[in-house]
Structure 1
């Protein structure tokens, strides 16, 4: 069976605020890869943030695709965390990528929908990938992955599957190298079907108690989780424990 790599979802978001330097550093300490989300501003600056609108974590009602970076750079984000409230800043993607390159941290970079509204978004992102140790780009939007593959053919692209998808369409997407699916979709029957595509498979949403962790399928190459330390321990061969 191939090695199953562990990726910390939005950084180690089970232990620190998602997509922040604290969550990334925590994941690095666990010795795992990092899954993070990227958005692009109106003026073409790529930042690390999950939501299309910053309201959930900042209280300000603004869509990232509609504002310039000057609006975001001083914005404080946070939420109540274990009886306390800590403010963070939205990280610049370039700075996170440089840090990951120095630390040799594998990255799973998810492109969010703001990239659909910027004519040069995927090209700007591709220009920032040089020198990264181990990276793949994922998205729910196959057209973004197609643009990435056209600009940078060597980079791995991963389609995040929605609940209802066409296997025939997925097989025909020769610009997609791997598939990501939520654990709610995971089943032996579906895995058998997905193997027909010849693409790699990663699963997200795992917490450590799932059957897919106890006995991983041979085609599974990655797990994306809020609790990377748990998953890493579960996947460690019994002879090493």
Structure 2
């Protein structure tokens, strides 16, 4: 299986969003704007109450919708009524987003593990991507999610998201060099996406020595982009004119 699509063009982090674009993160408009630039998109997925893969980053709805509650408290149909900030975009399922993207450009899906339902969310994502005609890859901080794809859908390109900077959001073992190397080998990952702030490091050099593509996130300045070019194979970027 070719993974060349991982390094051909940069990935817009949650689409092309922000004040300069007029688009909201993880919205269909932001993804379509990235495609129009000739770039791939990176997006986040969480589960709805009825087990659908929803394209959204935060567990809480407050920041982007103004409503109280968590995304897992509502069904996919209910979530489709929530507009994102002051835009006309709404929260959509992964399937709806993919249906409206240009399949010529790759999609990088970060599967969030914050809801602690690795099998359910992995299955939901797979159902939405199994027949997608364009290049697509899944990735996660959480090894149980990657393991599900290895065991149940090994044809899907899969990667590990990693950092060695502990901000308290993830269990301690996820930050150790030994654990990350073990995940790379045991999960037979096709790529790694590493925190730009933590480059270079032993883990990414280990991957490059084994010809495993190294992506990096989130590249927000030209200085960081220069660093990404030196130490990685591709960037997940935001607010840059690449």
SS at match of 1:77: coil
Structure 2: state its 5+ residue gaps.
Answer: 167-174
Out of 165, 186, 190, the position equivalent to 1:177 is: 190
User: Is 1:9 matched up with 2:21?
Assistant: no
2:106 match: 106
Moved more, 126-135 or 207-216: 207-216
Measured in 2, the distance between the counterparts of 1:114 and 1:68 equals 18
CA contact (8 A) 1:167 1:194 kept: no
Larger Rg computed on CA atoms: 1
Specify which of 149, 159, 167 is matched with residue 177 of structure 2: 167
Q: Comparing both structures, which one devotes a greater share of its residues to strand?
A: 1
SS in 1 for 2:50: coil
Task: Answer yes or no: is the 8 Å Cα contact 2:225–2:235 preserved in 1.
Answer: no
**Number of equivalences:** 221
Per-residue CA deviation, residues 137-187 of structure 1 (Å, 9 max, x unaligned), is 111111111112212101121111132522222222232322112221122
Q: What is the distance in 2 between the residues matched to 1:191 and 1:113? A: 22
Deviation at 1:190, TM superposition (A): 6.0
User: What is the correspondence of 1:195-214 to structure 2 with a 5 Å cutoff?
Assistant: 195=208, 199-210=212-223, 213=226
For structure 1, the residue ranges without an aligned partner over 5 or more in a row are: 79-84, 232-241
**1:54 is aligned to 2:54:** no
Q: Distance in 2 between matches of 1:35 and 1:181?
A: 14
In structure 2, the partner of 1:225 is: 237
Q: How big is each residue's C-alpha offset from its partner over 1:40-79, in whole Å with a ceiling of 9 and x where there is no partner? A: 112112211111111111121211223222331211221x
The 8 Å contact of residues 219 and 235 in structure 2, kept in 1 or not, is answered as: yes
2:155 paired residue number: 154
Root mean square deviation of aligned Cα: 2.5
Give the alignment's TM-score, normalised by structure 1.
Answer: 0.81
**2:61–2:71: 8 Å Cα contact kept in structure 1?**
yes
Deviation at 1:120, TM superposition (A): 2.8
Partner of 1:186: 199
Q: Provide the C-alpha distance between the structure 2 equivalents of 1:215 and 1:143, rounded to a whole number of angstroms.
A: 28
